[in-house]
Structure 1
Amino acid sequence: MTAALAPAALDAADWRARRAAHEARMAGWLDPHLARRRTGGRHPVEDFLFTYYSYRPAQLRRWHPGAGVLLRDADQAEFGRDYRAGPTGVTLDTDGVRDRRAESISWVRELLAATARRPAHLGCFGMHEWAMVYRQTQEEVRHNAWPLRLSPDDTAAVVRERGVRCSHFDAFRFFTAPARPLNLLQPTRETQHALEQPGCLHANMDLYKWAYKLSPLVASELVADCFALARQIRALDMRASPYDLAALGYPPVRVETPEGRAEYAAAQRGFAEQAAVLRARLLTALDHAVPPAAA
C-alpha cells in the first residue's frame, strides 16, 4: 500500500469548472476530427493523434483530477470504477489503479527518467519520414492522396545523401525495407529505454501516449498539455516530410536544403525544451501518485 496522505480537496464549483474548461478545450480538437470521421474524410496531420494512438476521443474528453484529490459532493458513479466514495465526496482509488497497472507504470517511469537523463540530439533533420517512403512509388506511399514534393528518385537521393539517424523504434518500424539498413541504429522495443533521447520528435510526441497510459493517476490537464505539444510536433513532422501539404496550410520545411535543416533544428530544439518540462511534470505527478518505493 502507498502511504496514506490527506487528499487535496476541491469544492464542487471548482472541480466542475475545471472539468468544463477541459471539455471545452478538447472540443476544439475533437469536434473537427469527429466530423471528418462521420463523413469519411481524412486529414494526414490532424487525424494522426487519433488514428496512431489508442486513446479514444471519449477518453480524451473525460476529465480526471489526478491522484490525491477529493472531489466534494461528487457522485462516484459519475467518475467510474477507479474512484471510491467517502463521506464528503469521491477520490481516486490510487492503490487499485497502481495494483492493476504496476508493470506498465514501472516501464513508463523508467523510460521517462532514462530519456530525461540524456542530452538531446538534433541532427536527424526529419529523415525518418523520408525513410518511410524510400523507394516507393506515389501509389505505394501511406498518404498517397497527397503528392510528394520530389520524385521518388530524388527523394531516395536525399535519404542517401543525408543518412538516417533515427533512435525511435516506433518510427523505425515504419521504414521501408530498403531504408532500414541505411539507419545508423537498429532500434528494437527491447532497446527503447537505452536509445530514446529527448531531442527526438517522436519521443516527445509520445509524451501524450505516456500521459494517457498513466491516466487517471495524472490530471487530464496534463494529458491535454501533452496532446497539444504532440499536435504541434506532428505539424513540423509532416511539413519536413517528403509530402506536399501546402494546400492544407502546411508550408514545407525543405530539409533537403541547408536553410530548411536550420529551420528544422531550431524548431526541434524548441520542442525538446517544451517536452522536458512536460516529462518532468509527468514524473512528478507519477512520483506523487505512486512513490518509486511503492511501485
Structure 2
Amino acid sequence: NQTIISDFLLLGFSEHPEQQPLLFGLFLGMYLVTLLGNLLIILAIGSDPHLHTPMYFFLANLSFIDTCFTCTIVPKVLVNIHTQQHTISHTGCLLQMYYFMALALLDDFLLAVMAYDRFVAICLPLHYTTVMCPQRCLLLVATSWLCSNLLALSLTLQMAQLSFCASRSIPHFFCDLLPLLKLACSDTRSFQITMFAEAALSGVVPLTCVLVSYAHIMHTILRIPSAGGKHKVFSTCGSHLTVVTLFYGTVFLVYFQPSSSYSADTGMVASIVYTMVTPMLNPFIYSLRNKDMKGALWRLFGLGKCCTTHQ
C-alpha cells in the first residue's frame, strides 16, 4: 500500500495563522541582518591587511558558511508564509536536506579548526607561524569542506532510497532529517545506524577537539601571573566559546536522541536557534568583542581617522 511521493508539505507554522505576519516580519528581519552582518565581516577581513591572519581567515569562512546556511533555509520559509503554499518537491526536499547537512557539518568542523588555531596561538605562540602556515590553513578548510559534503551526500543518497507512505506532511519549516525519516514506511534501521555513526564522527570528534583545546588554553591562562594578561588572552577566546555553546547546545538537543522520541515542537524551536539566531548573532559576537574587527569595520566605512582619534 505504498504510494510514490512526488512532493511534501512543509507545515511549519501553519497551525498558527494569526501569527503569520509577525513571523514573516521577524524572519525577514533576521535574514537581512544575517546577510548584512556576515557580508560586512567578509568585506572587512578581505579589505584590511592587518586581518590577513589564520584566525580571521577562518572567521571569514565561517561568515560565508553562515550566509549560505541561512540562504538554504530562510527564503523558502518566507515564501511559504507569504503565499501559504507549503509544497516542496521530493527532489527539492532532498537537495535542501543535503545543503543543510553539509553546511551544518562544515560549521561544526570549522569551529573545531578555530579552537585548534586558538590553542596553537596561546599555548604554542613561538611555533604559531610555522604550524598555522597558509598551506595548512587551506588544507584544514579544504578537508572540512570535503568531509562535510561526503557525510551529507551519503545520508542524502540513503534517504533517496527510502519509500514514503501516503502521508506527505512534514511538521517542520524545512526538510530536516528526523521529521522526514518519520514519514518513511520502509525499513530505516540501516539509515539510523549510519546517521548515529556520522553524528558521533561529526559531532563528538570535533567537540572533543574543542574541549581538549580549551582545557590546554585554560591551563595556560591560569599560569599567567597578571590579571590583565589573563583577561587579554581569555578575551580572544570568549567569542568563539559563545558561538560553540549556542551551536552545540541546540544541535545536541535535536539530533542526539532516538528518532522515536523526537518532538516536532522542540525540534522547530531549537532549529530556529541554530538556523536563524546563531548565524545572525555570530557577526555581532565576533565584532563587538574584538578591537581589531571594530577597527577594520570603521576603516571599511571610511571612518578610520575618527576611530583612531577616539582610541
Place the TM-score, normalised by the shorter chain, in its bin.
Answer: 0.3 to 0.5
> Normalising by the residue count of structure 1, what TM-score does the alignment of the two structures yield?
0.35
> Normalising by the residue count of structure 2, what TM-score does the alignment of the two structures yield?
0.34
- Which structure shows the higher helix fraction? 2
Structure with the bigger RCO (C-alpha within 8 Å, sep 6+) is 2
